[in-house]
């Protein structure tokens, strides 16, 4: 058995079916060996960066590890932006990269791939020998799976051509996952329960972690018990749609009434939500509130803008345990659900003059949201345009939205949408991009067509870079420096 054939067996044992990439000298034998198995389904993209973005979108929406495959040298360097975006999004992803043979005379594609990968926020693993190969592959997948990070798995080209003279056996990384407590101890929960029972104006903010844990019903049950208002992070937009005390997104895209109420909160509980810079408006959104967070991670990665209580646990199970404790103490109150709060929420928005040319993006976003089918997956790229979707587009029942803003990079949306559509073939897919960011990776529309991915693409065309236009105007510069007509 060739080493590249054994690597293919290892990937299949890890549950890899769909993978994304471009073929080159450094990965073509592995690619070919993997595709001999009917379980494997390759998605050939036109650019390596988009292959990693597609693996990112696939992992975000399937719960599986996203896998991308590129060749050595420039094949890897093209992936830097997308690797950092995946790291910022806490995406479990394995990027398999070839590496030129040791001692190769043709060094055209030679580089220090470890240093590049680590500079791109990825953990780096390399296959050092056929003796250690099984363990090294498993370690790479284990690191991605447990830490929810992108890793680069480096495959030297000369080693791929070696032969095994013994029966190759591989144990997947899932065999080594340790058992862990998904519900915290009563002592860990006691401070949160005490603060919820005492709070007069509580708010619960759910994030993507709550969605992943399917915690919605338990969170609503808790909010109804303590009289909490319900809000979400941007990534969980629409999670409580239809509930009478849903105040929408917390943070930079919050409505004025929601901002007013959040500023009055005396206790905020984040469930599967980072409560980061944008969700808390730099820590200024609820200045009088004590804060607690429930997260599957053991500890926060940094102090953050609003340090507070931290409880490790699965979102659904932890909130269920809080509900049981509050029920045992017969806690039930109106809390923040007062007539005054209802009056604030029903305050009509101020009248705004419509634009003198083009389409008004506010009713357009509302119409787009209203047209979405149930269960739709909406992928939104990064740019000035995404604010209209965040603020004005309602989501129907079962719909989910994801943003590719983790690194603040434009041009990522199409790749993320491709991976999302590949991993969720039974759901409707809509991608929203700006005209500027679409032109970064326009070639991937051919990928969508070639792989017959059902997707509606909505392009928010303001004939330029909208965010830069506003910033230029604010500083007194010529706004036309960031405006140009879009091609037909």
CATH number at residue 407: 3.40.50.970
Q: Which of 144-153, 178-187, 342-351 has the weakest average pLDDT?
A: 178-187
The model's confidence at residue 288, banded by pLDDT at 50, 70 and 90, is: very high
Kindly tell me if the per-residue pLDDT of 253 is higher than 80.
yes
What pLDDT, in 10s, does the model give residues 32-61? 999 999 999 999 999 999 999 999 999 999
Residue 219 placed within a domain: yes
Residues 305 and 327 in one domain: yes
Provide the whole-model pTM: 0.92
What pLDDT, in 10s, does the model give residues 184-224? 999 999 999 999 999 999 999 999 999 999 999 999 999 99
The model's confidence at residue 101, banded by pLDDT at 50, 70 and 90, is: confident
Residues 239 and 382 in one domain: no
Q: Is 416 in contact with 56 (CB distance < 8 Å)?
A: yes
Q: Which domain holds residue 314?
A: 186-337
Kindly tell me if the per-residue pLDDT of 180 is higher than 80.
no
Residue 14 placed within a domain: yes
- Decide: helix, strand or coil at residue 50: helix
pLDDT for residue 354 = 77
Lay out the sheet containing 456-460: strands in order across.
400-403, 377-380, 429-434, 456-460
Residue 459 placed within a domain: yes
Kindly tell me if the per-residue pLDDT of 425 is higher than 90.
yes
The model's confidence at residue 457, banded by pLDDT at 50, 70 and 90, is: very high
Examine the fold and report which residue of 176, 202, 227 is the final residue of a domain before the chain moves on.
176
The model's confidence at residue 397, banded by pLDDT at 50, 70 and 90, is: confident
Examine the fold and report which residue of 122, 151, 176 is the final residue of a domain before the chain moves on.
176
Residues 67 and 129 in one domain: yes
pLDDT for residue 355 = 74
pLDDT for residue 176 = 93
The model's confidence at residue 168, banded by pLDDT at 50, 70 and 90, is: very high
The model's confidence at residue 22, banded by pLDDT at 50, 70 and 90, is: very high
pLDDT over 90 for what percent of the chain?
80
Distance CA 380, CA 368 (A): 13
Residues 429 and 324 in one domain: no
Strands 18-21 and 41-44: parallel
Q: Compare 469 and 101 and report the one with higher pLDDT.
A: 469
pLDDT over 70 for what percent of the chain?
100
Residue 367 placed within a domain: yes
pLDDT for residue 486 = 78
Examine the fold and report which residue of 154, 176, 198 is the final residue of a domain before the chain moves on.
176
pLDDT (mean) for 425-448: 94
Residues 198 and 167 in one domain: no
Residue 344 placed within a domain: no
pLDDT for residue 193 = 96
Distance CA 261, CA 403 (A): 26
Residues 161 and 193 in one domain: no
Residues 53 and 153 in one domain: yes
Residues 144 and 50 in one domain: yes
Residues 54 and 155 in one domain: yes
Q: Which of 97-101, 120-124, 356-360, 394-398 has the weakest average pLDDT?
A: 356-360
State both tokens at 92: 């479990």
Residue 343 placed within a domain: no
Kindly tell me if the per-residue pLDDT of 78 is higher than 90.
yes
The model's confidence at residue 358, banded by pLDDT at 50, 70 and 90, is: confident
How high is the mean pLDDT of the chain? 93
Residues 115 and 250 in one domain: no
pLDDT for residue 179 = 78
Kindly tell me if the per-residue pLDDT of 240 is higher than 80.
yes
pLDDT for residue 349 = 82
Residue 248 placed within a domain: yes
pLDDT for residue 301 = 72
- Nearby residues of 73 by Cβ (< 8 Å), 6 or more positions away: 26, 100, 108, 109, 110, 111, 113
Residues 28 and 124 in one domain: yes
Strands 150-156 and 123-126: parallel
Residue 301 placed within a domain: yes
* Domain tally, the chain: 3
Q: Is 58 in contact with 41 (CB distance < 8 Å)?
A: no
Residues 172 and 194 in one domain: no
User: Of the spans 52-66, 168-182, 462-476, which averages the highest pLDDT?
Assistant: 52-66
Distance CA 112, CA 203 (A): 49
pLDDT for residue 305 = 75
């Amino acid at each position: 058995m060739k080493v590249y054939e054994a690597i293919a067996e290892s990937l299949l044992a890890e549950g890899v079916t769909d993978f994304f990439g471009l073929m080159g000298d450094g990965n073509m034998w592995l690619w070919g060996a993997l595709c001999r198995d009917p379980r494997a389904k390759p998605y050939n993209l036109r650019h390596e960066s988009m292959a990693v973005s597609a693996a990112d979108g696939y992992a975000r929406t399937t719960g599986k590890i996203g896998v991308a495959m590129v060749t050595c040298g420039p094949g890897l360097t093209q992936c830097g932006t997308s690797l950092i975006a995946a790291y910022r999004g806490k995406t479990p992803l394995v990027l398999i990269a070839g590496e030129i043979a040791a001692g190769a005379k043709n060094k055209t594609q030679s580089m220090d791939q470890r240093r590049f990968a680590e500079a791109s926020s990825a953990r780096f693993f390399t296959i050092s020998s056929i003796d250690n190969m099984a363990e090294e592959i498993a370690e790479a997948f284990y690191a991605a799976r447990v830490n929810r990070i992108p890793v680069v798995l480096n495959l030297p080209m000369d080693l791929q051509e070696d032969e095994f003279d013994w029966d190759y056996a591989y144990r997947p990384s899932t065999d080594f996952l340790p058992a862990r407590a998904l519900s915290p101890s009563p002592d860990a929960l006691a401070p949160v329960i005490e603060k919820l029972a005492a709070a007069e104006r509580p708010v619960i903010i759910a994030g993507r972690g709550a969605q992943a844990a399917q915690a919605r019903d338990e969170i609503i049950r808790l909010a109804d018990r303590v009289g909490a208002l319900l809000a979400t992070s941007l990534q969980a937009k629409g999670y409580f749609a239809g509930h009478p005390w849903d105040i929408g997104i917390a943070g930079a895209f919050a409505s004025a009434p929601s901002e007013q109420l959040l500023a009055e909160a005396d206790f905020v509980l984040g469930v599967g939500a980072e409560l980061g810079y944008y969700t808390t408006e730099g820590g200024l959104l609820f200045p009088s509130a004590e804060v607690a967070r429930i997260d599957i991670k053991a500890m926060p990665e940094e102090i953050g803008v609003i340090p507070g209580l931290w409880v490790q646990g699965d979102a659904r199970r932890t909130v269920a345990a809080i509900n049981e404790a509050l029920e045992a103490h017969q806690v039930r109150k109106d809390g923040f659900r007062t007539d005054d709060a209802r009056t604030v929420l029903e305050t009509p928005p101020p009248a705004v003059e419509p634009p003198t040319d083009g389409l008004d993006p506010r009713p357009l976003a509302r119409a787009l949201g209203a047209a979405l089918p149930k269960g739709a997956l909406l992928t939104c790229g990064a740019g000035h345009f995404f604010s209209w979707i965040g603020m004005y587009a309602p989501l129907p029942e079962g719909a989910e939205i994801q943003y590719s803003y983790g690194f603040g990079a434009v041009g990522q949306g199409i790749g993320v949408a491709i991976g999302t559509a590949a991993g969720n073939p039974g759901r409707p897919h809509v991608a929203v991009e700006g005209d500027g960011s679409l032109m970064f990776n326009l070639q991937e529309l051919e990928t969508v067509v070639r792989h017959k991915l059902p997707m509606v693409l909505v392009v928010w065309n303001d004939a330029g870079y909208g965010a830069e236009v506003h910033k230029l105007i604010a500083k007194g510069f010529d706004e036309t420096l960031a405006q140009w007509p879009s091609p037909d």
